């Protein structure tokens, strides 16, 4: 998809379907979490945290549901960072069904955080550069 820098393909599992026959909203947030972790790994932030105890913390997540998803099927989650501030950045996600229709739009606010001191930190230039590199990945 245009403008997105990461792509994650996932299979819809039968267990994710609710009594109404469509994929439950909890499963949708699981897809968003998978895409978020995939993105954070790609920019090296998960690995950085294991060495320094400084890394990402989720400050906010939200999504807009446009169409239901059904089993069986596959989805593709596209992700990108659409802005970076001093201590945080936002990851924008688009979830598409098998017909390449946009079914969910989501946003995550990630804060760069020192877990030892329990305080937010300024995003280092090295991380900003990695985000810029990932922008051109797909």
| Residue 8, beta-bridge partner list | 77
Query: What's the distance, CA 77 to chain centroid?
Result: 8
User: pLDDT by residue (tens digit) across 60-107?
Assistant: 999 999 999 999 999 999 999 999 999 999 999 999 999 999 999 999
CA dist., res. 21 & res. 93, Å (int): 24
User: pLDDT by residue (tens digit) across 8-45?
Assistant: 999 999 999 999 999 999 999 999 999 999 999 999 99
Domain ranges of the chain: 6-131
Cβ(137)–Cβ(3) below 8 Å: no
Q: What is the pLDDT confidence band of residue 3, given thresholds at 50, 70 and 90?
A: confident
CATH H superfamily, domain 6-131: Hotdog Thioesterase (3.10.129.10)
Structure tokens at 130: 């990695």
Segment 51-56 shows an average pLDDT of 94
Name the percent of the chain in helix, strand, coil, to the closest 5: 30, 40, 30
User: pLDDT by residue (tens digit) across 104-125?
Assistant: 999 999 999 999 999 999 999 9
Cβ(54)–Cβ(112) below 8 Å: yes
pTM of the model: 0.93
Cβ(87)–Cβ(111) below 8 Å: yes
């Amino acid at each position: 998809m245009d403008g997105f820098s990461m792509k994650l393909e996932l299979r819809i599992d039968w267990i994710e379907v609710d009594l109404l026959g469509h994929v439950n909203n909890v499963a949708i947030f699981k897809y968003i979490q998978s895409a978020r972790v995939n993105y954070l790994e790609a920019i090296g932030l998960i690995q950085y945290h294991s060495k320094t105890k400084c890394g990402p913390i989720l400050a906010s997540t939200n999504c807009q549901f446009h169409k239901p998803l059904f089993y069986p099927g596959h989805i593709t989650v596209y992700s990108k960072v659409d802005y970076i501030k001093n201590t945080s950045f936002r990851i924008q996600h688009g979830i598409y069904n098998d017909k390449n229709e946009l079914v969910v739009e989501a946003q995550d606010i990630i804060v760069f955080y020192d877990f030892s001191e329990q305080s937010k930190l300024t995003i280092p230039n090295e991380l900003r550069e990695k985000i810029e590199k990932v922008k051109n990945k797909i």
